[in-house]
Amino acid sequence: MIDTASLAMVAPEEILCVGGLVLLMIAAFVGDKSARLIGWLSILVLAGAGLSLLGLPGHGGDAFDGLYRADAFGAFTKTLIYIAAAVSILVAPRFFESGPASQASVIRPEYPILILFASAGMGMMVSAGDMLTLYIGLELNSLAAYVLASFMRRDGRSAEAGLKYFVLGALASGILLYGVSLLYGFTGSTSYDGISAAMADGLSRGELFGLVFVLAGLAFKISAVPFHMWTPDVYEGAPTPVTAFFASAPKVAAVGLTVRVALEAMGSALDQWQQIVVFVALASIIFGAVAAIGQSNIKRLLAYSSINNVGFALIGLAAGTAEGVAAVLSYLAIYVVMTLGSFLCILQMRDANGNPVEDIASLSGLSQSRRGLAAAFAIFMFSLAGIPPLMGFWAKFLVFDAAVGAGLTGLAIFGISASVIGAFYYLKIIKTIYFDEPAAGYAPAGSKVESALIAVCAILLVIGYLFNAPLASVTYAAAAALH
Amino acid sequence: MNEFGFPLLSLMLAVPMLGAIACLFANAQTARMIALAATTIDLILGIVLWINFDQSASAPAWQFQEYAPVFGRFAWALGIDGIALLLIALTVFLMPICILASWEAIQKRVGEYMAAFLFMEVLMIGVFTAQDLFLFYIFFEAGLIPMYLIIGIWGGANRIYASYKFFLYTLLGSVLMLIAMLWMAREAGTTNIPTLMAYDFPPQVQTWLWLAFFASFAVKMPMWPVHTWLPDAHVQAPTAGSVILAGVLLKMGGYGFIRFSLPMFPDASAQFAPLVFGLSMVAVVYTSLVALVQQDMKKLIAYSSVAHMAIVTVGLFAFNQAGIEGAMMVMLGHGLVSGALFLCVGVIYDRLHTREIDRYGGLSINMPRYAILFMLFTMASVGLPGTSNFVGEFLALMGVYQASSWVALICTTGIILGAAYMLYLYRRICFGEQKNADAAAVPDLNWREIVMLVPIGLGVLWMGIYPESFLAPMRADVRAVVARMAPAAPQGDARLALGKGLPAKTHSSHEAAGEAH
């Protein structure tokens, strides 16, 4: 028997998988020269998957007997994921084509297709209603991501990044699976509802261990302290468009997944995981801020920045309320804009020969050679630092508000004080751009698409407050979908 | 929309904002003209605002109110009372002067510079007009961005250290205030500042809220011992940056005390008044002594600012009408006088490119016009009767005398020390022999500089000779604050007792005694 209703609810993943497979065939028969075309077609596929969220996949309820949940929460996070994926595809060709000629690196058609598969996996992650769906989604995403990290296979750093990501990612998956198996053993179920029901009458020791292991595995995926070690190396080594992708879409998916697991599967054990989340959040904020100070590579710096930001997002989760979830979702939305904008700016950092540079010192005096780019960079950095009137402030505002609302005033005070440490290294970049004497200039912009995307991100961060009300209504609807 | 029928305050914010955007795309000379035009229009709008501000006894406390719930959780709510009106007037008055002061001193990246200043003006006016808690915070905090850039790009040799210090100090102060605001908005169920000013927070919570706000305002003020960012920022900032910093930004701290700490947390304010007094007394004496030994003109004036702001804080926490009115007058007067003093420093700095006091001497011989204006502002800073600072300092100290004689006594020494360091500064720069040939050869003020300094001089004299113009708009608002705090007001050490007087008729007291029997 074919469960047509369920099949209709997983339409986004179907579109992505089928689209990806068809494009893979085209790529196989046409070859590398089809790369740009496939890139554009992939964006169409993502758009189609996104549009399908307006229908049943956005509010259909449980599919496949609760293995998969088509709800507003999934729809919101998937929208963010698809947008981030599309941007990562858009900016890729120019990066790969302008690399050093010796590497003969051209954009290969597998790049957008891998991103499509990763997106399908991430869609499963945020919509999972069962630990096994979760794991399959996670692995589908991760396998694509390992390949993407080492996409420039002749480049030593890229290969190293892929290997490190794979080894540590596999370890994390193992930890997660071990936790899942413990939970299954002690609760007799792998579905979120079943686990939650079994935990409602107090936590047995086995359940507690399972909870801790699952959270540890997830902390790894969202690169929260103390499971963050892979992040700087992978971010630094991976090709910049891939790093932009890693820092945005999988981050959204993993945080969304964590939120859903914490509230749906372990909602009845709030007191137990709350203290873990509080610790992880504070540790991420403080470590992400302190470790970033000494960095001289901009991609490494943004890796620590992403650790730092995950900490702030987790403060909303620590609140454990619907308001907190809505705050996390708003945080993710704003974070995606800031991060993509920052990486788009990094993609502009190329020397006179067109080779990418990643040294922060090379940004010196950018404000005098490329005023628009410098202003956009400064907007992203101030926004990441959480300085009003930019939207980064609003993201932090919401999570701290949720924490205060849940009575976690102490957490809010510590977190916001630590954000001042973080402000320092963002300021350092602005200082390099605006105060220092000009270094050798960069190559001219060259790509209208990238410039336009940067402008859109920067303007969104400036005027975003006008969209506060719609953002709030969407995120609250998404938060209400969790039960 | 408001009773005036026109969103005047929004317009005052929009004009410099549009000017700032235009400056970013203009060449140097056009940017200067745009900035001057935008600030002048705002000055005119400010005058219109003052003229239309209803000062009669029956006037509503909040005027020119606007409300547009466009931001979801908080609203575009603007409105002013007399206290805000005066500070807005100070802002719009100083801004064109700042633009003029930068006319020739700033030669690189003029468009961005002017844009930063105009953006700064938007934020300063925004702080004084915001009626929504979070809108206030956004304006208050956003000021860090342009000021960081102004100090860092166009500042002196050690500008990067100063810009970091300025930014991180003030940011750390402010974020704690944000947490307190989040809590307050939840507890009271509103973000409207006038409503919050009438809300009674539980006294034990007030303590914490007060401390969180204090962290922010004390840094902004700045109060001893968190004042150390100020001398660095002042010394490194370009002249106009120092003027805005001393003239307006420091006043945000005082404004915050009047608007938030005192009316919202009266019990905690009473509880912590001794702390404020203690810090202020140290500040007055210590920073005055530090100012006395400075070799750098800007640093000297920066330390004098800390001392003057300490008079403001003691006045504010005197819990009476005279103290708060005096504090406001000191803020306004200091805004003009310290701004003018920084401009005076800037004038000779532009000529000789040093702020070292020893490099000057005998300027009254070759710069007579400069010497006269500098003399006026020196005297105003000392607090000579007839100048603005006299009125403010007298009222503030009179107010605090009711609260504590000792505080009044020690703070008054600040005036004596102030006279010492200011007169000593003036003597070394303008009098004495012309020991440096290059200093002896510099030309006197040009027209642009006279246009900058003379209006401030007139303002200083106006405030000193007829302070009623400035006291009248805020009287009712200060009275409201004092009335709000009255139940919590601590007992002063001035045990005022009405004299008994002689009994008019001796037999009447006998009668009274007889009836009692």
pLDDT value at position B1? 44
Which of A404, A416, A434 is closest, CB to CB, to B186?
A404
- Identify whether B231 is preceded by a cis peptide bond (ω within 30 of 0): no
pLDDT of B154 higher than 80: yes
> Nearest CA to A74 among A95, A98, A50?
A50
With H, G, I as helix, E, B as strand and everything else as coil, classify residue A442.
Answer: coil
- State the residue for tokens 């064109």: B96
pLDDT value at position A334? 94
Q: How confident is the model at residue B103 (pLDDT cuts 50, 70, 90)?
A: confident
How wide is the angle at C-alpha B460 spanned by C-alphas B455 and B466, nearest 5°?
Answer: 115
Which of B72, B112, B179 is closest, CB to CB, to A400?
B179
Distance CA B379, CA B293 (A): 19
Residues in B closer than 8 angstroms to A423, CB to CB, are: 167-168, 171
Cβ distance A461 to A375 under 8 Å? no
pLDDT value at position B494? 66
Query: CA B226 → CA A6, A15, A314, B173, B216, distances in Å?
Result: 63, 60, 32, 10, 10
Residues of chain B in Cβ contact (below 8 Å) with chain A: 24, 70-73, 109, 112, 134, 137-138, 141-142, 144-145, 148-149, 152-153, 159-160, 163-164, 167-168, 171-172, 175-176, 178-179, 182-183, 186
pLDDT value at position B496? 65
Q: Which of A79-88, B2-11, B316-325, B372-381 comes out lowest in average pLDDT?
A: B2-11
Token pair of A171, please? 């370890």
Contact B168 A424 (CB under 8 A): yes
Distance CA B358, CA B508 (A): 75
Residues in A closer than 8 angstroms to B144, CB to CB, are: 387
A118 CB near a chain B CB, below 8 Å? no
Distance from the B42 Cα atom to the nearest Cα atom in chain A, whole angstroms: 22
- Give start and end residues of each alpha helix (H) in A98-229: 110-127, 131-149, 156-187, 192-199, 205-221
Distance CA A338, CA A66 (A): 35
pLDDT value at position A99? 58
Contact A420 B159 (CB under 8 A): no
Q: How confident is the model at residue B440 (pLDDT cuts 50, 70, 90)?
A: confident
Token pair of A285, please? 């904020």
With H, G, I as helix, E, B as strand and everything else as coil, classify residue B78.
Answer: strand
Give the helix/strand (H/E) hosting B509. helix B506-516
Distance from the A372 Cα atom to the nearest Cα atom in chain B, whole angstroms: 10
Beta carbons within 8 Å of B52's beta carbon, 6+ residues apart: B4, B8, B64
Per-residue pLDDT tens for B252-283?
999 999 999 888 998 898 889 889 999 999 99
CA atoms within 13 A on the CB side of B257: 33
Token pair of B45, please? 């709008």
> Nearest CA to A246 among A315, A180, A158?
A158
Residue type, B393: E
> Nearest CA to A335 among A450, A250, A260?
A250
pLDDT value at position B517? 47
Give the helix/strand (H/E) hosting A304. helix A298-319
Distance from the A412 Cα atom to the nearest Cα atom in chain B, whole angstroms: 7
Per-residue pLDDT tens for B155-186?
878 888 888 888 888 888 888 899 999 999 98
Position with higher pLDDT, B475 vs B497: B475
Which of B145, B164, B179 is closest, CB to CB, to A387?
B145
Token pair of A396, please? 């932090």
Cβ distance A321 to A405 under 8 Å? yes
Contact A367 B171 (CB under 8 A): no
Mean pLDDT along residues B350-355: 84
Strands B63-71 and A68-70, bridge-based pairing: unpaired
Mean pLDDT along residues B445-461: 89
Query: CA A213 → CA A205, A208, A367, B449, B512, distances in Å?
Result: 12, 9, 47, 71, 88
> Nearest CA to B20 among B8, B3, B40, B35?
B35
Contact B163 A397 (CB under 8 A): no
A416 CB near a chain B CB, below 8 Å? yes
Three-state secondary structure string covering B81-142: CHHHHHHHHHHHHHHHHHHHHHHHHCCCCHHHHHHHHHHHHHHHHHHHHECEHHHHHHHHHH
Mean pLDDT along residues B203-228: 89
Cβ-based burial of B21 (10 A; exposed 0-12, middle 13-18, buried ≥19): middle
DSSP lists the bridge partners of residue A119 as: none
Cβ distance B201 to B207 under 8 Å? no
How many other CB atoms are there within 10 angstroms of residue A153's CB atom? Answer: 13
Which of B24, B70, B175 is closest, CB to CB, to A416?
B175
Can you tell me the ipTM of this complex? 0.90
Contact B153 A435 (CB under 8 A): yes
Q: Give the number of beta-carbon pairs within 8 Å between A and B.
A: 86
pLDDT value at position A102? 46
Contact B145 A431 (CB under 8 A): no
Query: CA B390 → CA B21, B57, B331, distances in Å?
Result: 41, 27, 12
A471 CB near a chain B CB, below 8 Å? yes
Distance CA A218, CA A212 (A): 10
Distance from the A346 Cα atom to the nearest Cα atom in chain B, whole angstroms: 22
CA atoms within 13 A on the CB side of B55: 16
Mean pLDDT along residues B376-405: 89
> Would you give the DSSP letter of residue B260?
I
In chain A, the residue whose alpha carbon lies closest to the alpha carbon of B126 is A389
Contact A387 B71 (CB under 8 A): no
Distance CA B78, CA B10 (A): 8
Which of B71, B159, B172 is closest, CB to CB, to A468?
B71
pLDDT of B508 higher than 80: no
Question: DSSP string covering A209-222, please?
Answer: HHHHHHHHHHHHHT
Q: Which of B182, B191, B207, B216 is the best mutation test for A, with the most CBs of A within 10 A?
A: B182
Contact A468 B164 (CB under 8 A): no
Mean pLDDT along residues B25-50: 90
Distance CA B1, CA B11 (A): 12
Distance from the B197 Cα atom to the nearest Cα atom in chain A, whole angstroms: 21
Distance from the A361 Cα atom to the nearest Cα atom in chain B, whole angstroms: 15
A417 CB near a chain B CB, below 8 Å? yes
pLDDT value at position B513? 47
Report the C-alpha dihedral over residues B403, B408, B410, B413, rounded to 10 degrees: 170
Token pair of A41, please? 């077609």
In chain A, the residue whose alpha carbon lies closest to the alpha carbon of B156 is A435
Residues in B closer than 8 angstroms to A368, CB to CB, are: 109
Regions in chain A scoring below 50 on pLDDT: 101-102
Which of A375, A420, A465 is closest, CB to CB, to B172?
A420
Cβ distance B408 to B365 under 8 Å? no
Residues in B closer than 8 angstroms to A420, CB to CB, are: 168, 171-172, 175
Contact B182 A401 (CB under 8 A): yes
Phi, psi of A341 (to 5 degrees): -60, -45
Contact B183 A409 (CB under 8 A): yes
Cβ distance A143 to A136 under 8 Å? no
**What letters, b where the CB count within 10 A reaches 16 and e where it falls short, cover A303-326?**
bbbbbbbbbbbbbbbbbbbbbbbb
Percent of chain B whose predicted confidence (pLDDT) is above 90: 26
Cβ distance B485 to B270 under 8 Å? yes
Q: Which of A193-202, A253-262, B303-312, B507-516 comes out lowest in average pLDDT?
A: B507-516
Residues in A closer than 8 angstroms to B130, CB to CB, are: none
Contact A404 B148 (CB under 8 A): no
In chain A, the residue whose alpha carbon lies closest to the alpha carbon of B70 is A466
Q: How confident is the model at residue B504 (pLDDT cuts 50, 70, 90)?
A: low
Cβ distance B368 to B444 under 8 Å? yes
Residue type, B429: I
pLDDT value at position A372? 86
Distance CA A95, CA A148 (A): 14
pLDDT value at position A304? 92
**What letters, b where the CB count within 10 A reaches 16 and e where it falls short, cover B37-52?**
ebbebbbebbeebbee
Cβ distance B440 to B434 under 8 Å? yes
Report the C-alpha dihedral over residues B428, B430, B435, B438, rounded to 10 degrees: 120
pLDDT value at position B365? 84
Q: How confident is the model at residue B71 (pLDDT cuts 50, 70, 90)?
A: confident
Distance from the A48 Cα atom to the nearest Cα atom in chain B, whole angstroms: 31
Distance CA A457, CA A453 (A): 6
Rounded to the nearest angstrom, the gap between the alpha carbon of residue B12 and the centroid of all alpha carbons in its chain is 20
Residues in A closer than 8 angstroms to B137, CB to CB, are: 388
Contact B71 A382 (CB under 8 A): no
Mean pLDDT across chain B: 86
Contact B73 A419 (CB under 8 A): no
CA atoms within 13 A on the CB side of B335: 31
Residue type, B144: L
How wide is the angle at C-alpha A260 spanned by C-alphas A256 and A266, nearest 5°?
Answer: 145
Which of A371, A389, A409 is closest, CB to CB, to B142?
A389
> Would you give the DSSP letter of residue B59?
S
Contact A387 B171 (CB under 8 A): yes
Distance from the A291 Cα atom to the nearest Cα atom in chain B, whole angstroms: 18
Contact A388 B176 (CB under 8 A): no
pLDDT value at position A13? 92
Rounded to the nearest angstrom, the gap between the alpha carbon of residue A225 and the centroid of all alpha carbons in its chain is 16
